[in-house]
Amino acid sequence: MSLPKIAVTMGDPAGVGPEICLRLLQNDEIAHLCTPIIFGSAAVLEQAAEQCRLAKPQSIIGGLSEAGGPCVLDIGGIDLAKFTTGTVNANTGRAAFAYIEDAINAALSGQVSAVTTSPINKEALHAADISFPGHTEIFATKTHAPRSCMLQYSSEIRAVFVTTHVGYTEVPALLTKAAILDTIELGAQAMQRIRSGQPKIVVLGLNPHAGENGLFGTEEQSAIIPAVEAAQKLGFDVEGPIPPDTAFIPAKRRTTDLFVCMYHDQGHIPLKALCFDEAVNTTLGLPIVRTSVDHGTALDIAGQGEANPNSLLEAVKLAVTLSQKK
């Protein structure tokens, strides 16, 4: 059988994306699992190889039909003279967005089995007048997904998020029964695909002490509890809402397959504290498989050869697993 082709976007050219992509191309375990194809710039990758003292790409292709092993699809998209490694730049934001668009189109047309994304810089996107706040929103819009959510996956914690890249003051208004129920359903379906069997799901409250029966906020009564009850009626093994400050203690983590978080940092903080280099981000609800690293562009160490590629390696592995079980 031929190995699945996984489109791996290079990410922001000024960040650590090029460096970790170079390490991915040299990884024997990945080469035995799939054919990784870097969607990016061959010139940027060659420059990163020189900066970080890594091997340059051995296979550079002009079309996906040429992919016979780990390779680089040379999209270009940026002039080396137009940016500096480690610096926010509109040109790098524009290029990173182009790599994502091409990878999405390749997946939608069936030319690749899945997409794995390297980190992008939200400030660079904004400078390029690209209005999306992050990957999750780009993929949901470009694939016309009727509903979607973010899943952060690791050996210690699996978490889905009702809201992601919005300010804290916006969160309460976005917590509707329908949105929370959608997140529970998408998360449960994903865990069934990845791990098989009925997952044990814990839903977090928004407020201290999960609202203390309305003393510290009403979102639990108005949206979270009704969503939990609806999910239970649908047959999901769900409990909650439970107080966020006790949700991630060791004993609770051992008995929980999936945490449903109300906002970005509610799950990202414990997840990154416990397993920063291992965690993988994936977008649920899409017609294609998309996974990602769970870290940013790390501009402060870009071009120095210090970036850990493990999150990217794990993201590609999960992409292979999900594409086979789609």
* Structural contact between residues 192 and 305, judged by C-beta atoms closer than 8 angstroms: no
Please give the CATH number for the structural domain made up of 1-145+286-326. Answer: 3.40.718.10
The structure's pTM equals: 0.87
Phi, psi torsion values for 82, nearest 5 degrees? -95, 5
Residue 215 banded pLDDT, cuts 50, 70, 90: confident
Phi, psi torsion values for 247, nearest 5 degrees? -65, -35
In the chain, which residues fall in CATH 3.40.718.10?
Answer: 1-145+286-326, 147-284
Q: What is the DSSP string of 75-132?
A: ---S-GGG--TTS--HHHHHHHHHHHHHHHHHHHTTSSSEEEE----HHHHHHTT---
Q: What is the pLDDT of residues 222-255, one digit of tens each?
A: 999 999 999 999 999 999 999 999 999 999 999 9
Q: What is the pLDDT of residues 5-17, one digit of tens each?
A: 999 999 999 999 9
Phi, psi torsion values for 206, nearest 5 degrees? -90, -40
**Residue environment code for 259-277, b if the CB has 16+ CB neighbours within 10 A, otherwise e:** bbbbbbebbbebbbebbee
Residues comprising the chain, all counted: 326
Pick the CATH number of 147-284 from 3.40.50.1820, 3.40.50.300, 3.40.718.10, 3.30.365.10: 3.40.718.10
Structure token digits, residue 100: 């994502």
- Say which residues have a Cβ less than 8 Å from residue 123's Cβ, sequence separation at least 6: 88, 93
